[in-house]
């Protein structure tokens, strides 16, 4: 797309989003204490003073509602930039610049990626364990896993794959998913098993790998062989799986037989096919078109080997493609793959009561595009908000040209936080300010919509002339 075409498309998207915001805020003045239908919100006209300096003598409503406005903020994090807690704080700050007394309830949602282990440990009063592992580019690094506290029926550990094989850990000049490895994830799991845990929670998200979890399995004692019986080198990356023909699991960590493994992942992601993980996410991790084809071939070979081992075809099993196909490796360990929204809301004690007690929902993620409806946090938030008839606004670091697909799943309006054509590095460094400013701008548009609603109510009652006179 040419630069001027991008500008035109951006302006078009902006206009649509602004009018969508105004449309939603048009009926935002409501009574929260009464049950609401999914299709109708009860408008209230606020008493006001007439302003003598109003050119058309129509009263201007104050930027407030009859009863306290309650806003729910349920964001995801911005990959390689802001964690989920910071995103929620920035949105709240922007909202309160416009409405200082509004009630904001924050429910930051972790998608299993960066910050997942820290947050779950903090929520349960547990402890972090730090250790040296193999990083995604085979360079040692210090990582962590968590032991959960609280009332756990079984000793439980949480392992965050992003802490061992996340994209953030792959230097920009080394982003080659044909060679990055999940070996370090297996080392974290092995350390937790050595500690005697009975339950493992694995968070899948923000990955920088595409090895199907083969590296993880090797760290846990598995061996991979080609058709000639030659063993594949440990931690050799996704491309090496092109020649895999057999998998030996006899050397796996002995405690894996007795441990429950739960995985919080995007169950929309599959391993193989036109929508396989290499084709969908490979380019985001640095793969060239030729490398995407190579990885797709490798994962097809891997799927065949795993399917023979399990006695069923796993190439399109929901979640098999999670975190560069690590979902497949976890299936081989007998893990239960859970939709991440369902899992994280359970782990963090988030339920539908949050949605019942608010008027408006904000969500956010780093990039909003056609992949967002495929199980990402903003889409899951929108689906649940719509069950309660709530308007949903999404903020994003960047907005893809095909982001309009999100209107179909319940996101009423969205906006990018970008304020101009600035380099990505600058935007990431200044993301907190940009996000806070964007939340403020959205709230100002919402207040404009409320003003129009009250003006229109007055006009409909015959107390003032029309805002715009029709042509004679």
Mean pLDDT of the chain: 84
Angle at 75 (CA atoms; ends 122, 269), nearest 5 degrees = 95
The C-alpha atoms of residue 267 and residue 275 are separated, in whole angstroms, by: 13
pLDDT score, position 100: 93
377/109 Cα distance (integer angstroms): 7
Please check whether residue 74 is in contact with residue 107, taking contact to mean a CB–CB distance below 8 angstroms: yes
Residue 52 in this model has a pLDDT that exceeds 50? no
Task: Give all domains of the chain, ordered by start, each with its CATH number.
Answer: 32-109+354-460 (3.40.50.10350), 116-344 (3.90.1510.10)
Residue 28: band (very low, low, confident or very high) from pLDDT cuts 50, 70, 90: low
Residue 164 scores a pLDDT above 60: yes
Confidence class of residue 350 from pLDDT cuts 50, 70 and 90? Answer: confident
DSSP-assigned letter for residue 81: T
pLDDT digits (tens, 9 = 90+) for 419-461: 878 888 888 889 999 999 999 999 998 888 777 665 655 555 5
pTM here?
A: 0.75
Nearest-angstrom CA–CA distance, 106 and 116: 16
CB 181 within 8 A of CB 152: no
**Exposure class string for 132-162: b at 16+ Cβ within 10 A, else e:** ebbbbbbeeeebbbbbbeeeeeeebbbbbbb
CA–CA distance, 73 with 105 (Å, rounded to integer) = 6
Separation of alpha carbons 460 and 457, rounded Å? 5
Query: In the prediction, which pLDDT does 56 show?
Result: 39
How many residues can be counted in the chain? 472
Q: How far lies 389's CA from each of 179, 361, 375, 382, in Å?
A: 47, 11, 20, 10
- Predicted confidence (pLDDT) per residue in 191-219, tens digit: 999 999 999 999 998 899 999 999 999 99
pLDDT tens for each residue of 123-148: 889 999 999 999 999 999 999 999 99
């Amino acid at each position: 797309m040419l630069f001027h075409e991008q500008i035109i498309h951006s302006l078009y998207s902006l206009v649509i989003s602004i009018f969508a915001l105004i449309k939603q805020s048009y009926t935002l003045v409501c009574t929260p204490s009464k049950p609401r239908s999914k299709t109708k919100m009860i408008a209230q006209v606020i008493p006001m003073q007439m302003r003598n300096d109003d050119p058309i003598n129509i009263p201007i409503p104050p930027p407030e509602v009859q009863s306290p406005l309650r806003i729910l903020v349920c964001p995801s994090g911005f990959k390689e930039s802001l964690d989920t807690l910071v995103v929620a704080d920035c949105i709240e700050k922007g909202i309160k610049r416009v409405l200082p007394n509004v009630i904001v309830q924050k429910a930051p949602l972790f998608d299993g990626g960066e910050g997942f282990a820290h947050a779950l440990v903090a929520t349960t009063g547990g402890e972090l364990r730090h250790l040296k592992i193999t990083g995604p580019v085979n360079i040692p690094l210090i990582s962590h896993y968590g032991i959960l506290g609280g009332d756990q029926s079984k000793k439980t550990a949480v392992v965050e794959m992003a802490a061992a094989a996340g994209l953030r850990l792959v230097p920009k000049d080394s982003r080659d998913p044909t060679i990055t490895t999940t070996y370090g994830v297996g080392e974290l799991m092995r350390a937790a098993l050595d500690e005697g845990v009975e339950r493992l929670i694995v968070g899948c998200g923000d990955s920088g790998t595409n090895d199907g979890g083969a590296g993880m399995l090797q760290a846990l004692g598995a061996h991979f062989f080609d058709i000639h019986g030659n063993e594949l080198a440990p931690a050799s990356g996704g491309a090496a799986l092109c020649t895999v023909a057999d998998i030996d699991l006899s050397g796996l960590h002995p405690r894996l037989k007795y441990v429950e493994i739960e995985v919080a992942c995007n169950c929309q992601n599959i391993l193989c096919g036109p929508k396989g993980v290499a084709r969908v996410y490979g380019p985001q991790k640095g793969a060239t078109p030729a490398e995407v084809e190579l990885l797709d071939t490798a994962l097809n070979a891997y799927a065949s080997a795993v399917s023979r081992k399990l006695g069923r075809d796993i190439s399109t099993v929901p979640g098999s493609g999670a975190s560069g196909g690590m979902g497949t490796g976890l299936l081989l360990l007998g893990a239960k793959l859970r939709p991440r929204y369902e899992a994280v809301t359970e782990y963090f004690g988030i339920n539908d009561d949050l949605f019942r007690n608010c008027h408006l929902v904000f969500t956010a993620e780093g990039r909003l595009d056609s992949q967002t409806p495929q199980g990402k946090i903003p889409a899951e938030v929108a689906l649940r908000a719509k069950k309660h008839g709530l308007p949903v606004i999404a903020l994003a670091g960047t907005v893809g040209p095909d982001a309009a697909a999100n209107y179909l799943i319940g996101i009423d309006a969205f906006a990018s936080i970008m304020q101009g054509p600035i380099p990505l590095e600058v935007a990431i460094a200044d993301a907190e300010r940009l996000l806070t400013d964007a939340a403020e701008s959205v709230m100002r548009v919402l207040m404009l919509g409320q003003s129009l609603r009250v003006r229109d109510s007055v006009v409909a009652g015959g107390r003032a002339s029309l805002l715009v006179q029709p042509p004679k």
